[in-house]
């Protein structure tokens, strides 16, 4: 900086050095956001000190103008940087003060938000459904109150068929010609027929829903159960595809370690017929009360759709084949979660439900 | 069915352990539920067959004896015995000191120790059935057959393994030892030994000359075979036969009955022996019963028959209920000398219906109802006749009567290699296929390149089509030999499931809002339903009832979820602090009018979501506060659930059965009734043992679907800033606040209006209330000026004043 300069219009001198000193002192004294702001307005604002200096330059000789202009601009840059750094250091001080005085005890409980949960059977059923959906199966549903035709007749279980003993039925208390025409479905299999009546192959569909059996309950038997029906009909579908599909399901649902038993069984509406079981979680296959000493817990009946049913649906049973399975969600859930009594599901004790 | 492996060994050599055999049978479709090991814990050294050489009185006790027993050791042993039935010359089970037995009195397992009994040293024991774990009999000792080999380990002589098999209803042939033996042979590569059924007919007369058989209803009886045996002597069966009958789970009665039962268990064909002298005119007529006809059966019950039941009659009256039970009048007695033996094939459905109608399911009916082969009738008749001759001292008449109006043809199936691969997913070598089928008794001719010509053995009444054969092949080679492949082929197109999707979204939303889902039974009681449904509605549309239910607790199909969820809430309240919020998403069943049932229509099943909210709100620490939940907690859940599916409910004051008047609101969306929210009437709550305020809501998913938002369309009207202004209005106390709010929202410059306070009291006139609203003004195409907003508010206030007499609060 040089010596004082004469102001052409007012006659006062422009003393950059003095302006700088005042500004620096003002900044050092500003100790909150409001003070900083008023300092900024006073020094750097549109009507601030530096701005007016720069405005006055117009009346000076060219040489003076350059010199003072350069000095003023340098000062402006310096003050702007100083302002920013003052701001930051003030913010740091504030934060330090907050931290020092406002420490929270992080171990205190959070402000409780109520957590709702889905019933374990809903969760299991969804998981099962999702696995099949990922394999290209669509989802549909059907009625829980069924006719004799869909629940039995169309599945090749005539009125005098001994297989009627396999599923004790809850009939609606309404008789026609000495028979009960309506019942609570004993399985989701009626939907095989309902779906095939409405669609042509290729078919891949799952049908979840409640089913009912008129039987006494025990740790692995419940009178109301939730099944998911699986049906695939197309050219080239075989027992090997059924096995592959069900093993993939078991692997995803239970992991690689659990043992799967895939054995011959009989259901009138499939040929060949299959029963699939998982090793008992409680005894690891040794045999216990849970698995009726068998070491295995059956989770589904399955098989190749009986060709007579395909023919009855108007399909060419020599060309298309299909497989079907009915999987019990309660059994799947108890096997996965180590639940020792299937009846726990519908007792709805919150101490049970809240664990899922 | 219980299968004694010892008995099974009569027909097939079993080299596998009982466990291995059980596993093989299970995998092939014959599930083995349990294995009972008889004598598995008998020490073969210490427990042997003994011969009682001598019995002497105990010198010091009247009720004890000293028995000297040869047990196969170097020297006979004398022991103290308290059984009344011990006699010299008997073969018995003898245990020496150190053997583990079951204590006759305590039932505990214990080691037999030498003891001094009333001064006499005794280091062994003649065993009772109970001590061996064979029966509960501890009155006397177990007496063995007279030819039991002395010194043989009892476990060898009497031990057995019994498989308990769960049989499938398609296999009547499995209900026989021979059928099981055939299966075992096929699965283990062994050969079956068929029982003998030829005999010497010592009498001159021909059976057809002495008895006439007429099948009057051939649709219900396809074959009737009869033999006649003269000069039988009724008496107990030999020991081996009694053991077999017992092993099969039946009770030995006398030689004739035991033989018929034995052959039934051996071959699977039920038989019936008549006292021939009781058969009027030596004539058998197989006919439908006459309506109301009476027959007293073997069990002493007088049965009233109907015309769809089948009877065996003589010239005058029914003498047996075909396939179910014999008649008392023609029963075998001590006086019987001549037996007419029946071996017939009856209609499976008819036998099943008859047995069910008379509540009299028997071993015989259980076999007939599964469909027996007519071929079996002759073989079984001959087998039983042979045994009657050999074991009951009879003379068989020559030949047999065979009434067989329409002989069945042998079943032949053409199975192609292509079909086998199509069904099983594996192209099996011809040799394997032939071996599998042949092992089961099928005869197979392979005609290359494609065809297996298969002849089905008579006992396989269940095999009729190619795919049946595919299963036979698969289960003999083992399902574990079937490869695992993934589905290939085109994916079918998928139809939308809007109802299901909406229900599942609501389920998620309820849980997300903090409610716990429950799943309750679809059946309930009339009493529970009556708590929440008005009497006239219950009378006009009575809930559907199920017949023969498991329990009277589960008898009526619920037309509402309220009772079930309320009861679940009540059960949990006892051990719950704070807020309890439960919901269920399930179907209800609306009973159709009678004429619709008669037309075969199913009841209307509708999807409901029902919530129950009660208890105390929770404080910052999650503890129950002293502030009870109220109507607006319940409404909050409804708002949240509906918001999640893009719907905004409107409520209006309503009255509903079981809900408290004044605290009940009907829920609607776009003018459509979709549900209800309300406080359960305290009188109703009390019936559920709930003595605090409890709120219920119901959403009908089917109705919501009608107004459900489709795909949401994005509105890009956020470019111009909104202006938010608060408004306090004084209106009549009874005016529903939402009417004011929605009136404000109708203004074209108002984007939204929200109620944020309601105030009554000081500063507000009686009968009035002050509503505080926050109003957001916004235009899609420009920034609103303050003047525009002021003008809009002015016009709003004018309208509100006119419509609701609303005034701006001073």
pLDDT, tens only, B732-756: 999 999 999 999 999 999 999 999 9
Whether chain A has a CB inside 8 Å of the CB on B349: the answer is: yes
User: Which of A220, A247, A266 would you mutate first to test chain B, the one with the most B CBs within 10 A?
Assistant: A266
Fold classification of B723-808 (topology level): Alpha-Beta Plaits (3.30.70)
Which pLDDT value is given to residue A3?
Answer: 45
- The pTM for the full model equals 0.86
- In CATH terms, B498-707 corresponds, of 3.40.800.20, 1.10.3210.10, 3.30.930.10, 3.40.50.450, to 3.30.930.10
Of B433, B441, B440, B438, whose CA–CA distance to B417 is shortest?
B433
* Closest Cβ opposite residue B605 in set A144, A166, A307: A144
User: Which of A115-124, B509-518, B614-623 has the weakest average pLDDT?
Assistant: B614-623
Burial A264-274 (b: 16+ CB within 10 A, else e): bbbbbbbbbbb
Q: Does residue B603 sit at the A interface (CB-CB below 8 Å)?
A: yes
Average pLDDT for B505-522: 97
**Enclosing H/E stretch for B408:** none
On the 0-12 / 13-18 / 19+ scale of CB atoms within 10 A, B799 is middle
Higher pLDDT, A54 or A260: A260
Task: Looking at mean pLDDT, say which of A165-169, B83-87, B146-150, B344-348 comes out highest.
Answer: B344-348
Q: Where are the domains of chain A?
A: 16-101, 120-353
Do residues B808 and B781 make contact, with C-beta atoms less than 8 angstroms apart? no
**Considering CB atoms only, which of A109, A122, A241 is closest to B487?**
A241
Domain B415-480 belongs to what architecture?
2-Layer Sandwich (3.30)
Over the stretch B538-565, which tens digit does the pLDDT of each residue have? 999 999 999 988 788 999 999 999 999 9
pLDDT (0 to 100) of residue A162: 81
CATH superfamily of B207-403: Phenylalanyl-trna Synthetase, Chain B, domain 3 (3.50.40.10)
User: What would the pLDDT profile of B768-798 be if each residue is shown by its tens digit?
Assistant: 999 999 999 998 888 999 999 999 999 999 9
Kindly list the residues from chain A whose CB atom is less than 8 angstroms away from the CB atom of residue B485: 238, 240-241, 243-244
In Å, the largest CA–CA distance within chain A is: 124
Interatomic CA distance for residues B294 and B100, integer angstroms: 56
Minimum distance, in Å, between the CA of residue A154 and any CA atom of chain B: 16
CATH class of B2-40+162-188: alpha beta
- The contacts of residue A121 (CB under 8 Å, 6+ apart) are A226, A329, A330, A333, A345, B519
Quote the radius of gyration of chain A (alpha carbons, Å).
41
What's the rounded mean pLDDT across residues B342-355? Answer: 96
Q: Cβ contacts (< 8 Å) between B479 and chain A: which residues?
A: 243, 262-264, 274
- At residue A226, does pLDDT exceed 80? yes
- Chain B contacts of A172, Cβ < 8 Å? 544-547, 557
- Nearest CB to A239 within list B474, B497, B508: B474
- What's the average model confidence in pLDDT over B173-195? 96
Distance from CA of A234 to the nearest CA of B (A): 8
Longest distance between any two alpha carbons in chain B, whole Å: 130
**Confidence (pLDDT) at B249:** 87
ipTM of the complex: 0.89
Lowest mean pLDDT among B22-26, B134-138, B531-535: B134-138
- The CATH homologous superfamily of the domain defined by A120-353: Bira Bifunctional Protein; Domain 2 (3.30.930.10)
Examine the pLDDT at A10 and tell me if it is beyond 70. Answer: no
- pLDDT, residue B717, reads 62
CA B19, CA B34: separation in Å to the nearest integer? 9
Whether the predicted pLDDT of A8 surpasses 60: no
Distance CA B596, CA B603 (A): 9
B274 vs B203: CA distance, rounded Å: 19
The domain limits of chain B are 2-40+162-188, 47-158, 207-403, 415-480, 498-707, 723-808
Pick from A67, A87, A68: which is nearest to A27 by CA? Answer: A87
B687: confidence class by pLDDT, cuts 50, 70, 90: very high
If one compares B40 and B375, the residue with the highest pLDDT of the two is B375
Nearest CA in chain A to B578: A114
- Per the CB < 8 Å rule, is B29 touching A273? yes
- Which has the closest alpha carbon to B773: B805, B733, B742, B732? B742
Query: In the predicted model, what is the mean pLDDT of residues B464-478?
Result: 97
> Domain B47-158 falls in which CATH fold?
OB fold (Dihydrolipoamide Acetyltransferase, E2P) (2.40.50)
Taking CA–CA distances from B416, the nearest residue in chain A reads: A318
List, in sequence order, every residue forming a beta bridge with A320; answer none if it has no partner: A235
What was the pLDDT predicted at A120? 98
**Which pLDDT tens digit goes with each residue over A249-294?**
999 999 988 889 999 999 999 999 999 999 888 888 888 888 877 8
Is it the case that residue A2 has pLDDT exceeding 50?
A: no
**Does B723-808 match B415-480 at the fold level?**
no
Q: Which residues of B touch A237 (CB under 8 A)?
A: 487, 489
Q: Is A306 within 8 Å of B483 when comparing Cβ atoms?
A: no
Mean pLDDT confidence for B54-71: 90
Confidence at residue A6, expressed as pLDDT on a 0 to 100 scale: 44
Cβ pair B545, B556 in contact under 8 A: yes
**pLDDT, mean over chain A:** 89
| B601 pLDDT higher than 50 | yes
Contact A145, A183 (CB under 8 A): yes
> The tokens 């380990």 sit on which residue?
B153
Q: Do B484 and A247 touch (CB under 8 A)?
A: yes
Residue-wise pLDDT for B186-215, tens only, equals: 999 999 999 999 988 777 899 999 999 999
Query: What separation in angstroms does the CA of A11 have from each of A2, A51, A61, B405, B553?
Result: 18, 18, 14, 145, 108
Could you tell me how many residues make up chain B? 810
Whether A1 shows a pLDDT value over 60: the answer reads no
Average pLDDT over residues A179-195: 95
Mean pLDDT of A148-170: 88
Question: How far apart, in whole angstroms, are the C-alpha atoms of residue B735 and residue B737?
Answer: 6
Q: How far is it, in rounded angstroms, from Cα B51 to Cα B90?
A: 6
pLDDT at A11 over 70: no
Q: C-alpha B165: how far from its chain's center?
A: 17
Q: What is the mean pLDDT of residues A208-224?
A: 92
A-facing residues of B in 260-289 (CB < 8 A) are: none
């Amino acid at each position: 900086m040089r010596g004082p300069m004469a102001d052409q219009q007012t006659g006062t001198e422009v003393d950059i050095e003095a302006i700088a000193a005042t500004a620096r002192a003002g900044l050092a004294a500003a100790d909150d956001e409001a003070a900083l702001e008023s300092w900024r307005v006073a020094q750097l604002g549109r009507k601030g000190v530096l701005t007016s200096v720069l405005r006055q330059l117009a009346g000076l000789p060219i040489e003076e103008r350059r010199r003072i202009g350069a000095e003023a601009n340098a000062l402006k840059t310096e003050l702007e940087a100083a302002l920013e750094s003052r701001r930051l250091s003030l913010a740091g001080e504030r934060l330090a003060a907050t931290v020092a005085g406002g420490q929270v005890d992080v171990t205190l409980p959070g402000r409780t938000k109520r957590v709702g949960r889905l019933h374990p059977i809903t969760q299991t059923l969804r998981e099962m459904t999702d696995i099949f959906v990922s394999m290209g199966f669509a989802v549909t549903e059907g009625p829980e109150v069924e006719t004799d035709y869909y629940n039995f007749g169309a599945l090749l279980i005539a009125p005098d068929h001994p297989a009627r003993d396999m599923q004790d039925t809850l009939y609606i208390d309404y008789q026609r010609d000495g028979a009960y025409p309506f019942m609570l479905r004993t399985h989701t299999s009626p939907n095989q027929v309902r779906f095939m009546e409405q669609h042509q192959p290729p078919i891949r569909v799952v049908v979840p829903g409640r089913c009912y059996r008129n039987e006494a309950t025990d740790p692995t038997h419940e009178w109301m159960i939730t099944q998911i029906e699986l049906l695939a009909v197309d050219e080239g579908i075989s027992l090997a595809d059924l096995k592959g599909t069900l093993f993939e399901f078991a692997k995803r649902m239970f992991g690689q370690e659990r043992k799967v038993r895939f054995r011959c069984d009989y259901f009138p509406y499939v040929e060949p017929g299959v029963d699939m079981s998982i090793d008992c979680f409680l005894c690891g296959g040794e045999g216990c009360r849970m698995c009726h000493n068998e070491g295995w817990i059956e989770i589904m009946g399955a098989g190749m759709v009986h060709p007579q049913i395909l023919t009855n649906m108007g399909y060419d049973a020599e060309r298309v084949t299909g497989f079907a399975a009915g999987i019990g969600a309660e059994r799947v859930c108890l096997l996965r979660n180590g639940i020792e009594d299937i009846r726990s599901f519908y007792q709805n004790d919150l101490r049970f439900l809240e664990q899922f | 069915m219980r299968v004694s492996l010892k008995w099974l060994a009569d027909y097939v050599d079993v080299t596998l352990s009982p466990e291995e055999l059980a596993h093989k049978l299970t995998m092939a479709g014959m599930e083995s539920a349990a294995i009972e090991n008889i004598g598995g814990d008998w020490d073969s050294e210490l427990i042997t067959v003994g011969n009682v050489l001598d019995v002497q009185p105990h010198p010091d006790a009247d009720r004890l004896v000293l028995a000297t027993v040869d047990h196969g050791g170097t020297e006979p042993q004398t022991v103290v015995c308290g059984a009344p039935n011990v006699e010299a010359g008997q073969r018995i089970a003898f245990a020496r000191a150190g053997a583990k037995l079951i204590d006759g009195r305590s039932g505990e397992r214990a080691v037999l120790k030498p003891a001094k009994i009333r001064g006499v040293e005794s280091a062994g024991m003649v065993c009772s059935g109970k001590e061996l774990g064979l029966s509960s009999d501890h009155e006397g000792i177990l007496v063995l057959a007279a030819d039991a080999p002395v010194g043989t380990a009892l476990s060898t002589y009497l031990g057995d393994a019994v498989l308990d098999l769960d049989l499938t209803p398609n296999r009547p042939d499995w209900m026989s030892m021979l059928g099981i033996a055939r299966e075992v042979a096929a699965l283990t590569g062994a050969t079956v030994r068929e029982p003998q059924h030829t005999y010497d007919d010592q009498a001159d007369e021909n059976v057809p000359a002495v008895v006439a058989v007429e099948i009057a209803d051939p649709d219900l009886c396809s074959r009737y075979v009869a033999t006649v045996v003269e000069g039988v002597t009724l008496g107990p069966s030999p020991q081996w036969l009694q053991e077999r009958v017992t092993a099969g789970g039946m009770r030995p009665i006398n030689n004739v009955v035991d033989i018929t039962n034995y052959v039934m268990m051996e071959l699977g064909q039920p038989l019936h022996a008549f006292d021939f002298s009781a058969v009027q005119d030596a004539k058998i007529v197989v006919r439908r019963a006459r309506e109301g006809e009476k027959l007293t059966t073997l069990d002493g019950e007088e049965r009233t028959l109907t015309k769809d039941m089948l009877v065996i009659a003589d010239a005058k009256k029914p003498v047996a209920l075909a396939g179910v039970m014999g008649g008392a009048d023609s029963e075998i007695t001590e006086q019987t000398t001549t037996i007419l033996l029946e071996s017939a094939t009856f209609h499976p459905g008819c036998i099943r219906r008859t047995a069910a109608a008379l509540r009299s399911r028997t071993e015989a009916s259980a076999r007939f109802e599964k469909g027996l082969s007519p071929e079996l009738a002759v073989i079984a008749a001959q087998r039983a006749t042979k045994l009657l001759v050999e074991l009951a001292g009879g003379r068989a008449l020559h030949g047999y009567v065979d009434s067989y109006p329409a002989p069945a043809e042998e079943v032949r199936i053409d199975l192609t290699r292509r079909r086998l691969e199509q069904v099983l997913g594996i192209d099996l070598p011809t040799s394997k296929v032939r071996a599998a089928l042949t092992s089961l008794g099928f005869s197979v001719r392979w005609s290359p390149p494609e065809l297996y010509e298969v002849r089905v053995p008579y006992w396989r009444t269940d095999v009729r089509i190619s795919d049946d054969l595919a299963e036979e092949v698969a289960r003999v080679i083992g399902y574990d030999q079937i490869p695992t492949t993934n589905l290939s082929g085109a994916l079918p197109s998928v139809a939308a499931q809007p109802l299901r999707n909406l229900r599942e979204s609501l389920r998620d939303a309820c849980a997300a809002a903090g409610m716990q889902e429950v799943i309750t039974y679809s059946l309930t009681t009339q009493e529970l339903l009556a708590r929440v449904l008005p009497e006239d509605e219950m009378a006009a549309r009575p809930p559907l009832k199920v017949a023969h239910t498991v329990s009277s607790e589960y008898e009526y199909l619920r037309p509402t979820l309220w009772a079930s969820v309320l009861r679940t809430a009540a059960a949990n309240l006892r051990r719950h602090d704070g807020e309890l919020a439960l919901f269920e998403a399930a179907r209800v069943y609306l009973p159709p009018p009678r004429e619709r049932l008669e037309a075969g229509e199913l009841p209307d099943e509708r999807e409901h979501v029902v919530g129950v909210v009660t208890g105390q709100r929770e404080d910052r620490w999650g503890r129950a506060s002293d502030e009870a939940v109220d109507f607006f907690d319940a409404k909050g859940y409804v708002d949240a659930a509906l918001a999640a599916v893009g719907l905004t409910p409107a409520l209006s004051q309503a009255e509903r059965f079981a809900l408290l008047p004044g605290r009940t609101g009907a829920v609607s969306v776009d003018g459509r009734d979709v549900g209800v929210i309300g406080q359960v009437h305290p009188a109703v709550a009390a019936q559920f043992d709930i003595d605090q305020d409890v709120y219920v809501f119901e959403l009908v998913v089917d109705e919501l679907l009608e107004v459900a938002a489709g795909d949401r369309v994005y509105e890009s009207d956020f470019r111009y800033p909104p202006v938010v202004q608060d408004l306090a209005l004084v209106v009549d106390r009874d005016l529903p606040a939402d009417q004011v709010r929605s009136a404000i929202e109708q203004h074209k410059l108002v984007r939204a209006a929200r109620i944020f306070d309601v105030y009554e009291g000081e500063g507000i006139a009686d009968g009035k209330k002050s509503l505080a609203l926050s109003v957001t003004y916004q235009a899609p195409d420009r920034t609103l000026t303050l003047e525009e907003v002021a003008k809009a508010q002015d016009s709003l206030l004018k309208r509100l004043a006119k419509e609701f007499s609303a005034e701006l609060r001073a």
